[in-house]
Structure 1
Amino acid sequence: MVFSSLFFTFAFLPVTVILYYSLGKHFKNIVLLTASLFFYAWGEPVYVLLLCGSILINYCIGALLGRDDASRRNRKLLLIISLVFNVGCLAYFKYFGLIICTIADIGSWHLNVGIPTLPLGISFYTFQTLSYVIDVYRGKVKQQKSLILFALYSSMFPQVVAGPIVKYADIESQLADRRINFQGFYSGMRRFLCGLAKKVLLANNIGMLWSEVKAMPGTEISVLMAWAGIIAFTLQIYFDFSGYSDMAIGLGKMFGYRFKENFQYPYIAQSISEFWRRWHISFGSWFKEYVYISLGGNRVGTWKLIRNLFIVWFLTGLWHGASWNFVLWGLYFGTLLVIEKLFLQKSMAHWPKAVRHIYLLLFVVIGWVFFEFTNLTDMMSFLQTMFGIGGNALIDNQVIVKLKAYAALYIVCIIAASPWPKKRALLFKRNHGNIYRLAVTVYYCALMFFSTAYMVGSTYNPFIYFRF
C-alpha cells in the first residue's frame, strides 16, 4: 500500500482516523499499532512476521540491557547479539543476491541459488530498532517497558516503509503521551496534501520524461536530450522522496506525533557538504551519530578522517541498494566530500554564489547517473553521451519537441524545489491576512482535486525509495 493511492487516501486513512479519534485514550495506540501492521501486511503478508520477530527480539534485548543487575560484559554481549541479528537479517535479505552474483561473476560459475525477495522497508525499520538498542546500551534512553509502545515505534505506518528514520530518543516522550488537537490535525492534513501533490503531480509527471529518455537506444540520444533526461530524474527523485517524507510527517501530525524534517531545499545548496545536510536529513543524522562519530569523526588525524568518510560513504551507498553502482555512487560523494574538506573548503568561501551553486548542481546531477544505472556499461555510455564523447548529436528535433512539451513543468518543478514560494506566501500572509486564508483554502482544495484526478486517471505511480 502506498500513500499516493486511492485506497489509502479514501479508505484506509479515513477509517483509521475515525477509529483513532472515536475510541478512548487508552485504545489510541492499539488502533494505530493494528493499523500499522495491517498497512505493512497489505504489501508484505509474509514478511510482516519478520517485522514482528524483529520487534520482539529487540524489545527483549532492550529489556535485558535496561536491567540494573546487567553486567558490563553481558550488556556488550547483548549489543553484539542485536547487531548480528539486525545487520544479519538486512544482509541476508538485501545483499545475499549481490554476494552470490559477484562470486559467480568472479569465478565464471553458474550458481543455481534462490534469491530472497526484499522485505518492504527493512532498511528503515532495521535502523530504527538499532538506534533504540544502541541508545539503551549507551544509557541515553531507558528501556521501553511496554511491548505495545515499542511495537508501535518500530512499525508506525506513516514512516515504516520509507522513512524518515525516526530515532527512538526523538520520539520516546511522544509514544505514551502526546498532544492531540484540531490545529495539529489540520496542519498535518495540509502537509500530507502538499506531499501528495509533490508525488503525483510533479514527481510522476516529470519522471515520465526520464522514463522515455532512459528507454531510448543510446545512439538516438543527443547530448541535450541526455541532460534534459537526467535533470528530469534529478527533479523526480527529489519530489518523489521529499513528497513521501512530507506525507509521513503530515500523517504523524494527524495522530499527534512530531517527526523531524527530512529535507531542507537541498538543490539550493552551494557545496556537497551542505547538500548532504539538507538531503535525507534523518539518514545522514543516523550515520553521523552511530557510525561516523563512533569511528572518531573529524577529531582525528587527516588519514583517519579520510578513512572515516570513505567507510561512511561506502556504507551509505551500500544501504541504498544491492548493486555495485550504489557503492560507486557512495564513494563518488565520499571522494567529493574529502576533496572539499581537505582542499576546497577555504577557497570556496571566496567563490561567487552562482559559481558555487553551479558547481553543486553539476556534481549532484552527475551523481544521479551513478545512482540510476545499475548496469555499469549503460552508466558509462550515458555519461559519455552527456559530455559529447560518444559521437552523438549535440541537439536534434526530438529533444526540441520534448523540451517544448515539458517546459512549463520544468519551470514549476524548479520553482517548487526552492524556498521562493514559501517566502512569497509568508509575505502575502503578512500583508493580506484575510485574503490569504481564503487563498489557502482554495489552494488545498485544488491540490486535493487534481491529485485525486491524477490517481484516478493514471497508472504511472512509481516510488523510487521503496526498493531500499
Structure 2
Amino acid sequence: MEIKLVNNEEKCISIQSFVLGKKTIICGVLLILAILFNYKYLNFSIKNINYFFDIGLKERTILAPLGISFITFSAISYLVDIYTGKAKAGNIIDCLLYLTFFPKIVSGPIVLWRDFQNQIQTREININKCVNGVNRIIIGFAKKLILADMFGMCIGEIQKSAAYGIDIISAWLCVLLYMLQIYYDFAGYSDIAIGVAKILGFDFKENFNFPYRSRSISEFWRRWHIFLGTWFREYVYIPLGGSRMGKTRTIINLAVVFFLTGIWHGASWTYIIWGATNGGIVIIERIISDKSINKKIPNIIKWSFSMFVVMICWELFRFQNMSDFWSWVSIMLGRTTFAHIDLTWRYFLDYRMIVLTSIGILGATVLGESKILVAKEQIVKTKIGFAMQEALLLCLFVVSLFCMVSSSYHPFIYFQY
C-alpha cells in the first residue's frame, strides 16, 4: 500500500510571487531575532547592565513560548533559502507546516527549509516507512526512559547527598553519568522526532553520529547535533566567509559561530563559556591540524582528551551559574572535603547502575563501529534477522513502559532551549 500526498496549490494562498530583496531579508531576520531576544535574552541583558552600570532597570516576567529557539531558526532558514535561491517560497499552509511541524517544534531537529520543502509534495507514506518510523520511536523511548532517566535519577541522588557530603569518586561518577544522560536524552528525542516524521512521509537526516567516538572537538561537532551545526555553517559561517578568506578570518568566523552556539542554548554565562571553550579548542585544532606533532599523537590520546573536555564542558550545562560549577569542580579535585560522608560511591554505583552505565558507554561508542553497523544491516535484511529485531524492540518497548510507570517525570533536557 502506497499513498502519494500532493498539495492542492489551487486552494492555497500562494506567496510564491513575493520577491524577497536584501532589505526585506535583513528586516525579516532582525524582526525574528528581536522576538527571540525579547523572550530569551532581555532579562539576562538587564541583569548584566544593572551589574556593570548599576542603573536599576527592572526585569520582566516573561514566559517564553515552547520551542522558541527552534522556531526562530526555522523562520530564518525559510527566508534565507528563498533569498539565496536554494529553495522556492511555499504557500502559506506549507510555510506554517514547516514552522509548526509538531515532531520538531519543541526540541528540533532544525530541518532546513530547502530540505523540508522538497518533501512536502513528493513524500510518500508506505508500510516500510511506518514500520521503520515505529522502530525508531521505540529506540528513542528506550534511550530516554531506560538510560537517560535512570542516569538522571542517580545524578539527582548524588546532588542531594552533596549537601551533606560526598566523596570524590561520587562527584566524578555524577559527571560521567550526566555526559551519558544528555546524549541519550537528546538523541532519544531526535529518534522519536525522526520516527514520527517518517510515519508522516518525511525523511529527516540523522542528528547524531556517535559523537562520543570523536578524536577531536572539531569532529565532535560534526557528529553532535548535526542539524544545529549545519544551520550555523549555512547561515553564519559561510556568509561570513567561511575558510575562504585566510587563517585570521577563519579563526574570527569560528569564534563568532561558537559564541552564538553557546548563547543560543541559553541566557547564562555558563552557556557562553561553554561555547567559548569549545570554540577555542576548535580554533587551536584548526591551527595545529597540519603540524607534524599533531599527526604523531596516538588516536587513543586524542580520543581521551576530547572526551575529557566534552565531559567537563557538559557540567556548564548542568549548573545555572559559575559558582555552583566551581563548587562541584572543587569537590572533584579534592579541594572541598567533608568530615562525614553517609553515602559513598558504592551506594550510588549499585549493580543496576553498573549495568546501565556499561550499556550506555558501549552503546555510545562501540556500537558506532562501521563493521558492526554493516553487519547489523546485513542481518536485518534477512527474514529471521528482521523478526529478531522486531522481537527485541518489542521487549525494549515493554521495559520502557515499566521504567516510565515506576519513575517520576523527567522532561527532555533540550525542552528548555
The equivalent of 2:359 in structure 1 is: 412
The equivalent of 1:89 in structure 2 is: 35
| Amino acid in structure 2 at the alignment position of 1:355 | I
1:222–1:396: 8 Å Cα contact kept in structure 2?
Answer: no
1:238 CA displacement: 0.2
1:324 CA displacement: 1.2
| Amino acid in structure 1 at the alignment position of 2:19 | L
Q: State whether structure 2 residue 390 is matched by structure 1 residue 436.
A: no
CA distance in 2, matches of 1:357, 1:215: 32
The equivalent of 2:45 in structure 1 is: 99
Flag structure 1 segments of 5+ consecutive residues without an equivalent: 1-20, 30-55, 67-74
1:171 CA displacement: 1.8
Q: State whether structure 2 residue 267 is matched by structure 1 residue 322.
A: yes
The equivalent of 1:41 in structure 2 is: none
The equivalent of 1:459 in structure 2 is: 408
The equivalent of 1:294 in structure 2 is: 239
CA distance in 2, matches of 1:65, 1:345: 45
Q: Does 130-139 or 301-310 show the bigger shift?
A: 301-310
1:369–1:383: 8 Å Cα contact kept in structure 2?
Answer: no
2:2–2:126: 8 Å Cα contact kept in structure 1?
Answer: no
CA distance in 2, matches of 1:132, 1:455: 37
Q: Helix, strand or coil: the match of 1:65?
A: coil
The equivalent of 1:51 in structure 2 is: none
2:81–2:114: 8 Å Cα contact kept in structure 1?
Answer: yes
1:115 aligns with one of 61, 84, 100: 61
Q: State whether structure 2 residue 162 is matched by structure 1 residue 217.
A: yes
1:450 CA displacement: 1.6
1:88 CA displacement: 0.6
In the superposition, the TM-score normalised over structure 2's length comes to: 0.90
CA distance in 1, matches of 2:8, 2:131: 18
| Amino acid in structure 1 at the alignment position of 2:390 | T
2:199 aligns with one of 254, 273, 280: 254
Q: State whether structure 2 residue 313 is matched by structure 1 residue 364.
A: no
1:65–1:143: 8 Å Cα contact kept in structure 2?
Answer: no
1:271–1:360: 8 Å Cα contact kept in structure 2?
Answer: yes
CA distance in 2, matches of 1:246, 1:419: 19
The equivalent of 1:351 in structure 2 is: 297
1:391 CA displacement: 4.5
1:418 CA displacement: 2.5
The equivalent of 1:445 in structure 2 is: 394
1:303 CA displacement: 2.5
2:346 aligns with one of 381, 385, 400: 400
1:305 CA displacement: 2.0
Q: Deviations over 1:5-57 (max 9, x none)?
A: xxxxxxxxxxxxxxxx999956999xxxxxxxxxxxxxxxxxxxxxxxxxx9x
The equivalent of 1:142 in structure 2 is: 88
| Amino acid in structure 2 at the alignment position of 1:365 | M
2:2–2:125: 8 Å Cα contact kept in structure 1?
Answer: no
CA distance in 1, matches of 2:287, 2:358: 36
1:87 CA displacement: 0.5
1:204–1:462: 8 Å Cα contact kept in structure 2?
Answer: no
| Amino acid in structure 1 at the alignment position of 2:220 | F
Pick closer, same or farther for the CA change 1:223–1:132 going to 2, 3 Å. Answer: same
Note the 1:160-175 alignment, pairs <5 A: 160-175=105-120
1:441 CA displacement: 2.1
Q: State whether structure 2 residue 139 is matched by structure 1 residue 198.
A: no
Q: State the identity %.
A: 36
1:307 CA displacement: 1.4
The equivalent of 1:427 in structure 2 is: 375
Q: State whether structure 2 residue 249 is matched by structure 1 residue 304.
A: yes
1:458 CA displacement: 2.3
Q: Deviations over 1:274-326 (max 9, x none)?
A: 00000000000110111011111112233222211111111000000011110
The equivalent of 2:226 in structure 1 is: 281
List, as ranges, runs of 4+ consecutive aligned residues in structure 1 with deviation greater than 4 Å.
Answer: 21-29, 108-111, 421-426, 428-432
In the superposition, the TM-score normalised over structure 1's length comes to: 0.81
Q: Deviations over 1:388-408 (max 9, x none)?
A: 333569x99611221234211
1:212 CA displacement: 2.1
Pick closer, same or farther for the CA change 1:213–1:381 going to 2, 3 Å. Answer: same
CA distance in 2, matches of 1:260, 1:431: 23
CA distance in 2, matches of 1:301, 1:367: 29
Q: Deviations over 1:100-127 (max 9, x none)?
A: 1212222446544322112111111111
1:452 CA displacement: 2.0
| Amino acid in structure 1 at the alignment position of 2:408 | T
The equivalent of 1:270 in structure 2 is: 215
Alignment RMSD (CA, Å): 2.7
Pick closer, same or farther for the CA change 1:175–1:434 going to 2, 3 Å. Answer: closer
The structure with the greater share of residues assigned to helix is 1
CA distance in 2, matches of 1:86, 1:204: 34
